[in-house]
Amino acid sequence: MQIAEIDLGKYSNRFSSYTELRLHENRSQSIVLLNGDVVSNARDTTGGVSARVFNGGTWGFSSNPDMSNDAIDGTISAATRNADFLARRCGNEDAALPLSNASADSDFSTKKTLKTQEEKIAFLTEIDNYIVSSFPDVVSRQVLLSCLDMEKKLQTSEGSNGHNVTTRSLIAVKLTTENENKEPVELSEAIGARGQYEDVFESMDTIIPALDKLYAQLLDKKEAVQPISGYHDVILASDLAGILAHEAIGHTTEADIVRAGSVAADYLNKKVASDLITLVDFANTYEGETLPVPIYLDDEGVESLDAVIIEDGVLKSYMHNKDSAQHFGMPLTGNARAFSYTDEPLVRMRNTAILSGSSSLDEMIASIDEGYLLMRPTNGQADSTSEFMFGVQMGYEIKNGKLGKAISDTTISGVAFDMLNNVSMVSDEMVWSCAGMCGKKQPMPVGMGGPAVKTKVYIGGQ
């Protein structure tokens, strides 16, 4: 039986205390072309039922891949037993959670006829052929299609319910060339958006400009110089601002991290950033546009609301699940999400962004005598101290207000709140990325966005 056909409301009489009952299926697809060969042609469908029960301040959880009536009944019973076990050992009768009662349905599946595997592989091959015919200096190339659909149906004992399908499709391209020492030099790009393959990849028209830009930068990178390590004036390009918002600030202000000792616990309602900085974790919509990871109802049955983290430089709030909202006595934000049916919901970001300012990128470059323009992030990490780092695979020197030579791969770091206080210009553009996959205990698709930002960071290097 499909998730859409199962009525979860009929299990409500099986709930003996606060309970979340969730049907959840992830459908993913991966096709990899390595130098033209199809080295992976795979699909994965993983789903089932989970129940989470709150009793005396503790949680019981259970899951089962079988979504039959008996299995759903059994899963509720198992989760209830688990909660009872803990409540007997260490429960607190006075423990409570904030109430919520919300409903939301959404479906970002395509309405078009689904493409066949042959058509998708043919499209990836067309991309591969374009690389071969147009980019003579490329010695190795990889083209990867990655699609993920997440379908969730929820019923809580407080009456919240919803059926939501989120989708995203990405094509990641990695190009490798060789420098004059015959050493490999690589650069990669993820192209894609919210939506299923059929809605995202309609023609080569949207792919070719991105590939041409990637190759031009790869050629620049062949001649790259090492960045000079140390603190520098930098412009973090708009494609870096999202990971900046996510890694540098976002994680530090997730309420479970705050509760565990993050420095943000000491900064609420204090000035933590330049007046130019406003940072928001958007639930689903920005200026009328649906965002990369639109969440309307979280996995605790809470309506997803925008969480304003920093407003005009002042730390205003955190992102919450029910546990943390209860602990801090703050309003719910609807940030609780689980990646798989076997997972419990955690505080997770949705679409985290620094809001745009009024400067142009050209003005910002012109304002720096000696520094760097940094673009194209790789991985990143945050810390409870608000110290952050992320990898940068492309960048340019700035000398006397003009772009200079490309720089080789580096890592940038800093203390987030120091870095935010040093922001002196914010660009007037707003770029959203759909390619983020956060790794806090469970993987989770996230959206990220922002403008270019001028600040100071530490650049690693020799």
Shorter beta-carbon distance to other proteins: residue 184 or 443:
184
For other proteins, which residue of 4, 10, 46, 96 counts as binding (CB under 8 A)? Answer: 46
Q: Does position 390 bind other proteins by CB under 8 A?
A: yes
- CB 32 → other proteins: shortest distance, Å? 9
Q: Give the H/E segment covering residue 430.
A: none
Question: Cα(first)–Cα(last) distance of the chain, in Å?
Answer: 59
Q: By CB under 8 A, name the one of 18, 21, 23, 82 that touches other proteins.
A: 82
Using CB under 8 A, which of 69, 140, 285, 358 touches other proteins? 140
Indicate left, alpha or beta for 192 from its phi (over 0: left) and psi (-120 to 50: alpha): left
At its nearest, how many Å lie between other proteins and the CB of residue 53?
10
Segment lying near other proteins (by CB under 8 A), choices 14-22, 31-39, 147-155, 212-220: 31-39
Least distance (Å) from other proteins to the CB of residue 10?
21
Selected from 120, 153, 337, 350, the binder of other proteins by CB under 8 A is: 120
Length of the chain counted residue by residue? 462
In this complex, which beta carbon is closest to other proteins, that of residue 219 or of residue 263?
263
> Cβ 347 to other proteins, closest distance in Å?
11
Name the token pair of 403: 């772009």
Residue 443 Cα distances to 40, 237, 346, angstroms: 21, 25, 11
Interface residue with other proteins among 2, 129, 285, 378 (CB under 8 A) is 378
Binding segment for other proteins among 120-128, 195-203, 210-218, 283-291 (CB under 8 A)?
Answer: 120-128
Cβ 344 to other proteins shortest distance, Å: 7
- Considering only residues 190-219, where is the footprint of other proteins by CB under 8 A? none
Stretch that binds other proteins, among 99-107, 163-171, 179-187, 237-245 (CB under 8 A): 179-187
Distance CA 68, CA 73 (A): 9
Scanning the structure block, which residue is given the tokens 């190339």?
141
As to burial, measured by CB atoms within 10 angstroms (0-12 exposed, 13-18 middle, 19+ buried), residue 380 is buried
Nearest CB to other proteins, comparing residues 12 and 35: 35
Which position among 97, 172, 330, 415 is part of the footprint of other proteins (CB under 8 A)? Answer: 415
Q: For residue 194, how far is the Cα from the chain centroid?
A: 12
The one-letter amino acid code at 153 reads K
What is the per-residue DSSP string for 130-198?
HHHHH-TT-SEEEEEEEEEEEEEEEEETTS-EEEEEEEEEEEEEEEEEE-TTS-EEEEEEEEEEES-HH
Is residue 408 close enough to count as binding other proteins by CB under 8 A? yes
Q: Does 254 bind other proteins (CB under 8 A)?
A: no
Q: How far is the CB of 272 from other proteins (least distance, A)?
A: 13
Contact between residue 222 and residue 195 where contact means Cβ atoms under 8 Å apart: no
User: Distance between alpha carbon 269 and the CA centroid of its chain, in Å?
Assistant: 26
Least CB distance to other proteins at residue 462 (A): 6
Nearer to other proteins, 397 or 409 (CB): 409
Show the tokens assigned to 397.
């020197």
Residues 326 to 345: which contact other proteins by CB under 8 A? 342, 344
**Among residues 252, 351, 347, 350, which one has the least CA distance to residue 300?**
347
Which of 2, 4, 38, 112 lies at the binding interface for other proteins (CB under 8 A)?
38
**Which 268-307 positions form the footprint of other proteins (CB under 8 A)?**
none
Nearer CB in complex with other proteins: 17/413:
413
Q: Which one of residues 389, 406, 448, 453 is an interface residue with other proteins (CB under 8 A)? A: 389
Count of positions on this chain that bind other proteins (CB under 8 A): 80
Within 8 A by CB and 6+ apart from 165, the residues are: 106, 107, 108, 109, 149, 150, 151, 152
Q: Quick check: helix, strand or coil at residue 316? A: coil
Return the residues of window 85-104 that contact other proteins according to CB under 8 A.
Answer: 85-86, 89-90
Out of 151, 254, 387, 397, name the contact with other proteins by CB under 8 A: 387
* Minimum CB distance to other proteins smaller for 401 or for 460: 460
CB of 209 to other proteins, least distance (A): 25
- Tell me how far apart the alpha carbons of residues 85 and 59 are, in angstroms, rounded to a whole number: 10
- Helix extents (H) in 244-344: 255-259, 322-328
Q: What's 303's DSSP letter? A: B
Stretch 230-249 residues interacting with other proteins (CB under 8 A):
230
